[in-house]
Amino acid sequence: MPVSVMLVGGARPNFMKLAPLFHAFRRSAMFQVSVVHTGQHYDQQMAGSFFAELGLPQPDIALSVGSGSHAVQTARILERFEEQLREHQPDMVVVVGDVNSTIACALAAAKFEYTDGRRPRIAHVEAGLRSFDRTMPEEVNRVLTDALADYLFVTEQAGVDNLRREGVADARIFLVGNVMIDTLLGQAEEAASRAAWRRFGLQPQSYAVATLHRPSNVDDPANLARLFSALETAADRLPIVFPVHPRTRSRLAAAGLAGSGTLFLCDPQPYTDFLSLLSGARVVLTDSGGIQEETTILRVPCLTLRENTERPITIERGTNRLIGIDPAVIVRELDAVLGQPMPRTAPPPLWDGAAAERIVAILEKAFAALQAARPAAAAVR
């Protein structure tokens, strides 16, 4: 009997992590994989386009939960995902990243017991990252998901150290690299040849890319206004392409803020187009987690509009700087970066395009051991 795996995604940053995992599970003779889309993100630009672009099949299961407060969204996913566990009885649930879909599906699985006493095992991909800032919703999701998962797949050594400090047994921790970078490396050539900067009339290495979506930056009107004015000043130095997340779009509209001159606001971009924009950028200004990692691999300077990061390797490599949201500091740091050559840093260990393969190889061994120990009920904990 194949081991059945449910691969769960819900928000934009999840889909580029799911794709290499899906393909690696499909290549294994041991696993039968299905894809669950919780529907946390539902716009074509935030979710739909990623499936076609990354070679993911249409989801086998769509929970269609949509937007809501944290409690409402998490509760809807919990309820609807539990129904799927009951119906399909997967041997393993794989969750990625740190969004509400991640914790909700891990929690539903952790408390679920099938009628024959089996429980689904839980794998968390991108485990162990910590900003040590519990006011970030994602930090809460990370800590809780890691407390529940059986297999913790980690992207960088700091994540291993964090988990050990929290008392997680070494047997549950696996440093495997970064599945999001698997996808990036697979698409890098296509992204470069797409030259997405041309659509804005720009030349490579002569413009910046900006993104903003953290609630602490965009939901507070004063912070949003400060950041926007910093971007307007920065756009006098070099043109800025600013693909606008739906959360930010509604906050900017409410504040009456719009792009002008060389500050180009546009819709969220398809994955490969966005990667193309990043790869041609002279500098990136962002509050995203994933973009800090992508710029490290692309060797593009990244100015992170936050006080902390859960991804310290990006700082250690020298591509990323934490600069906060003071407009004077942002412009000063931008000027400093523009006066320096582009970084020439080596990629972090194991960020080599093979992380998903490593994860599946580890899980093959783990399930082979379980089946050998308990042939009749391979997934009993």
Q: Which residue in the list 41, 124, 213, 245 is annotated as catalytic? A: 213
Within 10 angstroms of residue 339's Cβ, the number of other Cβ atoms is 7
Of 41 and 194, CB closest to ligand UD1:
41
For ligand UD1, which residue of 118, 172, 247, 299 counts as binding (CB under 6 A)? 247
Q: Which stretch binds ligand UD1 (CB under 6 A): 1-9, 49-57, 96-104, 306-314?
A: 96-104
Angle at alpha carbon of residue 293, lines to 135 and 20, rounded to 5° = 105
First to last CA, the chain: 18
* Min separation Cβ 212 and ligand UD1, Å: 11
Among the residue ranges 165-173, 245-253, 308-316, 321-329, the one whose residues contact ligand UD1 (CB under 6 A): 245-253
Antiparallel, parallel or unpaired: β 320-322 and 302-304: parallel
- Residue 217 as a binder of ligand UD1 (CB under 6 A): the answer is no
Q: Taking the alpha carbons of 115, 110, 177, 58 in that order, is the dihedral positive or negative?
A: positive
Nearest residue to 241 via CA among 215, 279, 192? 279
From 367, 306, 345, 9, select the one nearest 183 (Cα to Cα): 9
Q: For residues 8 and 363, which CB has a smaller minimum distance to ligand UD1 in the complex?
A: 8
Q: Tell me: does residue 13 bind ligand UD1 (CB under 6 A).
A: yes
97 token code pair: 């990243």
Return the CA Rg of the chain: 21
CB of 77 to ligand UD1, least distance (A): 10
Identity of the residue, 68 or 186, whose beta carbon is nearer to ligand UD1 in the bound complex: 68
Give the ranges where 124-166 is alpha helix by DSSP (H): 137-148, 157-165
For residue 189, give the 3-state DSSP assignment: helix
Task: Please count the residues of this chain forming the interface with ligand UD1, following the rule CB under 6 A.
Answer: 19
| Whether 213 is catalytic | yes
Range in contact with ligand UD1 (rule: CB under 6 A) among 228-236, 239-247, 294-302, 361-369: 239-247
* Residue 380 engages ligand UD1 in binding (rule: CB under 6 A): no
Q: Which two tokens stand for residue 263?
A: 């500050």
Give me the residues that bind ligand UD1 (CB under 6 A), please. 11-13, 40-43, 46-47, 67, 98-100, 137-138, 213, 245-247
